[in-house]
Structure 1
Amino acid sequence: MNRKELRKKIFQMLKDHYRLIIYNDSTIQTVFSIKLTPIKVATLGSLGAILLILLTSVIIAYTPLRENIPGYPDEKVRLQIIRNYLLVDSLENEIKTRDAYFEKIRTLFAGEVLPDESQITDAGVKTQEVKFKSFNADSVFQDKLQEEKQNLSISNSQKRLPSIANIHFFTPLRGMITNKFNTKTEHLAVDVVGKLNARISSVLNGTVIFAGWTMETGYSIYIQHENNIISAYKHNAELLKDVGDKVKAGEVIAIMGNSGELTTGPHLHFELWHNGTALDPETYIDF
């Protein structure tokens, strides 16, 4: 049989008509009868397969049966995936915040001015004239700051300096002075004891240049003011400001505490510096 005869035979089979009959075996009566052709059978079979695939897809997509499919995550796994995504996103934000903090510290040690992230100019502070000075923070940065220590001088005079004589300083903490400014003992500050959980305020308008924990002075905060004045507040229980924040005179910046290895009890260790010179705070501030 050649190819031509084979094609003709197949074409004839497709055109042939067949009848599907279902008989009752007991009565030999016809129960169901349908006339079919191979083409009609193929068409009906294809439609049935498509409908079966669609029905299976709907069941898998919109019913809990999909969780029984091997490899498909159940509800707990999906929730864990979402939690992991949120944790990774939070970790990325924390890393960015940490990198920004270290960059600010590097900027301070380089003697540069911190950029104004808020783009809001404080009328009380001329930021373009502020010059940051390195100082001994009694912290983990002490090694880097040690070489600057020799440049700091001590004001032995109890008279007001003419350059800042007319500046009104806000009292950082109302209380009793337990340890005065003393150059002989190298206590270049005053220790003030106030009420429990007393609020500590900034003495002038300024910008926070350090706010963090040190082993010796605990929670400490340093503020750069106009006219190259720096004020330091140490041994706090809690800090309410971050590096780069702008503060007003009298604005609360911390809570009095007893943190750090050098503390002798709950008090404020307050330092005042001008052009690298330690000043006696009692000369300028009434505690």
Structure 2
Amino acid sequence: MPLRRRELLLCTAAVPLTAHADPRRLRIPQVSAKAALTRSYAAVLLEQALAAAGMPVTLEPTAELIPQNRALQELGQRARLDVLWTMTSIEREQQALPVRVPIFKGLYGWRLLLALPEVAARMRGVRTLDELRTFSLVQGLEWPDTGILQGNGLNVVVSPGYEAMFRQLRLGRVDAFPRSVEEVWWELDRYGQGLAVVPDICLHYPAPVYYFVAPDEVELAAAIELGLRRLLSSGAFERLFAQHHAQDLARSRLGSRRIIRLHNPLLPPLTPLDKSELWYRP
């Protein structure tokens, strides 16, 4: 959306949206098994942001998990979904309208490595990207992270199945599975029998997760953005973020790990990298 048009929409949205006196029903995808969707961080933040913008909503999740790329297609076709959240890319911002506030403050770009204990012992000494390239890393078939890792010359094994990736690790068919700090500890408890988090190192690349809406839903996008910015100004955003992520961040100890920095070749040019308040830093 042209910047001037977005500014005008935000000004318009600054007035309470009385047209939505009754809660607006928003269909959202169930994109993760980590938590019941209506209790998830992204869903709660969406509700709070739209309430702050004067647009009360009722969230209606899908009954089944929906892969990210399929969710984007259904959003664009207005078939089943009104809002979703996913990692951005140049291609995804061409398919749908992004609200460029990174709702996880970039946590999906802070990656720890799941591996068998004996592999983790070898990997903990990795210091450079070249050394990391000697190990194989498993990722999902249509995940943006797959292209990011490949774009950095890493040895990526692509898998079409989520739980299959954990089996591949246990069978020794791949060396490691990079997972965000927002995911890794829950996955270790649920799927990680016989696996460990590689000590001492982490990967990092810019990886914002945004809310996306259909390309013609400019009012909804403006309301979400306005609400998020009001939550940022009031401190409510940071409080909710800490409530949901402080424990995982403490357990991850990012400040004491060696950081192997990667570039993100899929990053759109309008990513707000210059807004330090929008990003987590250890």
TM bracket (short chain)? under 0.3
Q: Tell me which protein shows more helix as a share of its residues.
A: 2
Give the TM-score normalised by structure 2. Answer: 0.22
Larger radius of gyration: 1
Give the TM-score normalised by structure 1. Answer: 0.22
Point out which structure has higher relative CO (alpha carbons under 8 A, 6+ apart).
Answer: 2
